[in-house]
């Protein structure tokens, strides 16, 4: 079964990847200027364009804010963990998402992962959000650029990364020192916990060190995607400073 990419920017970015697109559905209510580049690339690649009444395209949509543009595309191909790790040249930058459930959070995380040069995002096969139309839309198509792999056991994946010379870190209120005082250079893997319960104890125990994100307000925790973004940009800063 094919999947759908929904939203103008997500469809546009997907078209740029050269991956297989079977058909693009466009609402007759959409302003021509907003889809000019989509139409241009579609015609160049000889992709079928179907213009539909609003009622018709809404039957195809799976998310609310699809912006009048939906593409039917090839299924998402998750990366193989070992193959992806072995393809990395130079220092590797890995992001491990431990049971992230919210597709909006995951989409935002992938968008920042692309911006900061993350080489691979690791998620568990169970109890985790996957690449969905919402994730792709929120990530503005970044989900098509950053390799994502599923693993059966996050703790075991961390052990394998350690064997390959990676340092594993995570953020927690009880972290040993602030993230900006920690050494995040070289081969590094960052662990991000779920929105509700954070990082599981077994996974946290596998980390080489835990950092904290200083907070002066009354709220005790950050949104998962915000915390992940802070750490990802610190890794980028330290390794490109």
pLDDT in tens, 130-187: 999 999 999 998 999 999 999 999 999 999 999 999 999 998 878 889 999 999 999 9
Domain match, 97 and 192 both: yes
Q: How far apart are CA 107 and CA 130, in angstroms?
A: 10
Domain match, 227 and 156 both: yes
Report pLDDT for 241.
62
Of 44, 73, 102, the last residue of a domain is 73
Tokens of 88: 């990395």
Of 31, 49, 73, the last residue of a domain is 73
Domain match, 91 and 198 both: yes
Domain match, 136 and 236 both: yes
Domain, as residue range, for 128: 81-240
Residue 1 predicted with pLDDT over 70: no
User: Are the CB atoms for 97 and 112 separated by under 8 Å?
Assistant: no
User: Are the CB atoms for 61 and 6 separated by under 8 Å?
Assistant: yes
Domain match, 115 and 138 both: yes
Q: What is the number of structural domains in the chain?
A: 2
Domain match, 87 and 108 both: yes
Of 43, 73, 103, the last residue of a domain is 73
Domain containing residue 164: CATH number: 3.40.1280.10
Domain match, 47 and 129 both: no
**Residue pLDDT, tens place only, 185-196:** 999 999 998 767
Return mean pLDDT, the chain.
Answer: 93
User: Are the CB atoms for 149 and 79 separated by under 8 Å?
Assistant: yes
50 or 221, which is more confident: 50
Domain match, 218 and 185 both: yes
Domain match, 150 and 199 both: yes
Q: How confident is the model at residue 197 (pLDDT cuts 50, 70, 90)?
A: confident
- Find, among 203, 204, 194, the residue nearest to 228 by Cα: 194
Residue 47 predicted with pLDDT over 80: yes
Tokens of 19: 């991956």
- Find, among 84, 88, 56, the residue nearest to 70 by Cα: 56
Domain match, 199 and 103 both: yes
Domain match, 95 and 172 both: yes
Residue 32 predicted with pLDDT over 90: no
Report pLDDT for 81.
97
């Amino acid at each position: 079964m094919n999947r759908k990419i929904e939203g103008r920017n997500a469809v546009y970015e997907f078209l740029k990847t050269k991956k297989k697109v079977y058909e693009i559905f466009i609402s007759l209510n959409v302003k021509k200027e907003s889809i000019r580049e989509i139409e241009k690339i579609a015609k160049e690649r000889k992709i079928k364009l179907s213009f539909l009444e609003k009622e018709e395209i809404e039957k195809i949509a799976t998310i609310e804010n699809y912006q009048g543009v939906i593409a039917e595309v090839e299924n998402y191909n998750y990366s193989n963990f070992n193959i992806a790790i072995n393809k990395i040249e130079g220092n590797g930058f890995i992001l491990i998402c431990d049971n992230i459930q919210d597709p909006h959070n995951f989409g935002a995380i992938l968008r920042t992962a692309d911006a900061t040069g993350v080489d691979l995002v690791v998620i568990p096969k169970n109890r985790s959000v996957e690449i969905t139309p919402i994730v792709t839309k929120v990530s503005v198509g970044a989900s098509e650029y950053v390799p994502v792999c599923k693993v059966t056991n996050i703790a075991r994946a961390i052990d394998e990364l350690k064997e390959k010379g990676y340092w594993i870190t995570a953020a927690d209120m009880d972290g040993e020192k602030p993230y900006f005082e920690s050494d995040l250079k070289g081969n590094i893997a960052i662990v991000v916990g779920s929105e509700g319960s954070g990082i599981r104890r077994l996974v946290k125990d596998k980390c080489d060190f835990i950092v904290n994100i200083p907070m002066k307000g009354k709220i005790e925790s950050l949104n998962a995607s915000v915390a992940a973004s802070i750490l990802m940009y610190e890794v980028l800063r330290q390794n490109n400073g």
